[in-house]
């Protein structure tokens, strides 16, 4: 039979473990999801006049992450003095349950870019958007309409040539129903641009286009795992994104893929060791 001293030590040890777990849970639910970091990635050799691109992703606006929380993200974006701002999908978590179109559109409008604001669809953006306003005359809007009212061009299986400082940037946006072979709109090889960018919500969506000469592929979706318990991180990676878990990947000469860990949360309103971010790129375009 254990001695009283042994039982006392065991109880103290268990109490310490419980306190640590309680602190971790509190941090994961109440602190980390509301932090936001600015992750700067320098891909430019021209330090005098690089083009600055800001990416944000996976806002998952919902009842516990509202426009007031999104305001802090917008403020950080506007501090970056961006030439281009891109959003790689998942605006609302589930717009059938929660939406706040008026406030969200106003915040999207307030995002500043010297030249262009672009967006692509995420998997959550296919939910129908319905206003929760008591005013029944309030317009019901889908994702594309919301983003356009916010000043963003939505690239839905589309591409554009952007011109900045005399340089041509080819940028394409693909969505969930991508094809197995590169569509003509998304193949930059004959566009003669100075820099080629592909936007896709889920990182794996770029696979059919991997032979194309993209300099930078921007994705989101994975949330960087969202909840990362040491030694078990990949268990929590969202489907179809675990090959490009988070951060910058080198795909070959002058070809990078970046998976943004996103801003919001889904399934469970917690983050642990996956701090929300905006990513800021200096490009040699």
Please give the pLDDT value at position 208: 82
- Global confidence as pTM: 0.91
Neighbours of 209 (CB within 10 A): 22
Give me the pLDDT at residue 115, please.
Answer: 96
Which stretches does DSSP call E strand in 100-233?
116-119, 153-154, 158-164, 167-174, 195-200, 216-219
DSSP for 54-72? EEE----BBTTB-HHHHHH
pLDDT at 238: 53
Q: Is pLDDT above 90 for 282?
A: yes
pLDDT confidence of 4, banded at 50, 70, 90?
confident
pLDDT category of residue 190 using cuts at 50, 70 and 90: confident
Determine what percent of the chain is predicted with pLDDT higher than 70. 88
pLDDT, position 64: 94
Q: What is the pLDDT averaged over residues 14-18?
A: 93
pLDDT of residue 134: 47
pLDDT above 50: residue 90? yes
Exposure pattern of 177-208 as b/e (b: 16+ CB <10 Å)? Answer: ebeeebeeebbbeeeebbbbbbbbbbbbbbeb
More confident residue, 71 or 211: 71
Helices 101-110 and 67-78, interaxial angle, to 10°?
10
How high is the pLDDT of residue 191? 81
Residue 277, CB half-sphere, CA atoms under 13 Å: how many? Answer: 24
Sequence ranges of the domains in the chain:
1-34, 37-283
Q: Kindly state the average pLDDT of the residues 27-36.
A: 95
Question: What pLDDT is stored for residue 39 in this prediction?
Answer: 96
The stretch 75-101 carries a mean pLDDT of: 95
Q: Say if residue 15's pLDDT is above 60.
A: yes
Pick the CATH number of 37-283 from 3.30.43.10, 3.40.50.1360, 3.40.630.30, 3.60.21.10: 3.60.21.10
pLDDT: which is higher, 212 or 154: 154
- Plot region of 257 (φ>0 → left; ψ -120 to 50 → alpha; else → beta): beta
- pLDDT-based confidence at 266, cuts 50/70/90? very high
| Per-residue pLDDT tens digits for 106-165 | 999 999 999 999 999 999 998 767 655 544 545 688 999 999 999 999 999 899 999 998
* DSSP-based three-state secondary structure for 35: coil
- Could you read off the pLDDT of 216-260 as tens digits, one per residue? 999 999 999 898 888 766 555 555 555 788 999 999 888 999 999
């Amino acid at each position: 039979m254990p001695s009283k001293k042994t039982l006392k030590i065991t109880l103290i040890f268990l109490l310490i473990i419980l306190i640590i777990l309680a602190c971790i849970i509190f941090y994961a639910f109440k602190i980390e999801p509301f932090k936001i970091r600015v992750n700067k990635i320098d891909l430019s050799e021209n330090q005098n006049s690089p083009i600055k691109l800001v990416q944000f992703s996976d806002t998952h606006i919902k009842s516990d992450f509202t426009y007031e929380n999104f305001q802090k993200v917008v403020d950080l974006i506007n501090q970056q003095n961006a030439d281009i701002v891109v959003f790689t999908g998942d605006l609302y978590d589930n717009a059938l349950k929660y939406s706040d179109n008026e406030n969200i559109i106003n915040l999207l409008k307030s995002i500043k870019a010297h030249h262009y604001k672009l967006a692509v669809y995420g998997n959550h953006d296919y939910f129908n958007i319905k206003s929760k306003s008591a005013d029944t005359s309030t317009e019901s809007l889908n994702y594309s309409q919301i983003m356009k009212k916010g000043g963003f061009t939505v690239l839905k299986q589309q591409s554009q040539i952007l011109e900045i400082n005399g340089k041509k940037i080819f940028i394409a946006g693909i969505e969930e129903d991508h094809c197995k072979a590169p569509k003509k709109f998304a193949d930059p090889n004959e566009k003669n641009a100075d820099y080629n960018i592909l936007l896709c919500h889920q990182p794996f969506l770029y696979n059919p286009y991997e032979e194309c000469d993209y300099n930078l592929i921007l994705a989101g979706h994975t949330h960087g795992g969202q909840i990362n318990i040491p030694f078990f991180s990949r268990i929590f990676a969202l489907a179809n994104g675990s090959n490009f878990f988070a951060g910058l990947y080198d795909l070959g000469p002058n070809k990078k893929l970046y998976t943004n860990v996103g801003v919001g949360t889904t399934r469970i309103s917690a983050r642990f060791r996956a701090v929300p971010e905006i990513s800021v790129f200096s490009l040699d375009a």
